[in-house]
Amino acid sequence: MSRAKLSDVAARAGVSSGAASLALNGKPGVSAKTREEIRRIAREMGYSASPTAKALVGGNTGMWGAFTESEPDIWPTWLQGVMTHAQAAGARLVVQKLPTRERRSDFFRTLASEGHLDGVILLDMAGEDNTLRPLWELGIPTVIAGRRSHWFDCVEIHERFAQEQLHQLLTLDGKRPVAVVATRAQVNQDAQRLSLWASLSPENKDTVVVGEDAPESGVQALNQIRKQYPDVQAVFCLAGDRTAWGMLREARLHSISVPGELAIAGWGDLPHSSWTDPELTTIHIPWEEMGIRAAWLLQKRLAHPDEARLHRSLDAKMISRRSG
């Protein structure tokens, strides 16, 4: 006779596998009555969690997972923060790039079945909770870095104050028009970063859409702005700093004075942005501190699994340099 599985217990109890996992592992999220019923059914069916699953739920392997799909310039800085706190907490890290969204459910289910990790930290700025459903259903301690989560502990970035400062700088308090350069993905997904800028600058409707954040995109964007929006005197490369780098280079080739004729700002404060000519005004994201906070949240969740979901926030900062 085959051994009863968690899905078998859940099916007989009429609940999801996630609810059954929460009940059998003593985690919040189900009522006391439902918990007792699920445990009764599990006893009747002879269900017992596998040793690997027990290790994962119990949080006793000393291994944490740190996963991301972010840009290579962002990843090391964020990871340094995660490593700093993980080392102080006596944990070791498994570091890996996330698979495509289509393969993510299978990836997380395999991760859970192997049971090598106490919990995971995800740098998932453009993601959404639904793509992480297996982590929730299986009760895996998880922390989301870079955005708000309704299911997991999280640490997010607030950009409003930084964008307000940048808006004042680029528009000269509303006296000059500003064009925005955004990626196609940002426009299609109505990215929060883009929506925030639109709310601050409703009078500026000039938007240039590029394929990705890359220097080549900046070259394309500047030439399009010169043709379609000749009155524009400032540009916010909301797509990212790489786009702004390309725009600065193209401006130099066309003998456009920056910031005299055209002020340019980026987003992200990547390491080379202080070495451009002129140095790039941009918005700094505290990647390393985000990593430290995320690792701290995971440590706290492992120590206190029944506590309410925790949410922490960090503020972005405008970095004013010569290009703005």
How confident is the model over 65-74, as pLDDT tens digits?
999 877 777 8
pTM for this structure?
0.74
| Same structural domain, 177 and 280 | yes
> Percentage of the chain surpassing pLDDT 90?
50
Mean pLDDT highest for which of 89-93, 126-130, 242-246? 242-246
| Same structural domain, 88 and 109 | yes
Query: Cα–Cα distances in Å, from 73 out to 89, 99, 208?
Result: 26, 18, 24
Burial class (CB in 10 A: 0-12, 13-18, 19+), 101: exposed
- Give 151 or 30, the one with higher predicted confidence: 151
According to the model, what pLDDT value does residue 1 have? 46
For residue 1, being part of any structural domain is answered with no
| Same structural domain, 67 and 207 | no
Q: What angle do CA 172, 177, 183 make, to 5 degrees?
A: 115
- Say if residues 126 and 191 touch (Cβ distance below 8 Å): yes
User: What's the CATH code of the domain at 280?
Assistant: 3.40.50.2300
SS (H, E, C) 108-120: HHHHHHHCCCCEE
| Same structural domain, 41 and 70 | no
| Same structural domain, 211 and 312 | no
Mean pLDDT of the chain: 87
Closest alpha carbon to 156 in 289, 299, 16: 289
For residue 136, being part of any structural domain is answered with yes
Query: Is pLDDT above 90 for 5?
Result: no
| Same structural domain, 204 and 120 | no
| Same structural domain, 33 and 64 | no
| Same structural domain, 140 and 185 | no
| Same structural domain, 14 and 24 | yes
For 13, other C-beta atoms within 10 Å of its C-beta total: 19
For residue 54, being part of any structural domain is answered with no
What total number of domains does the chain contain?
Answer: 3
According to the model, what pLDDT value does residue 33 have? 87
Q: Which domain holds residue 35?
A: 6-49
| Same structural domain, 103 and 28 | no
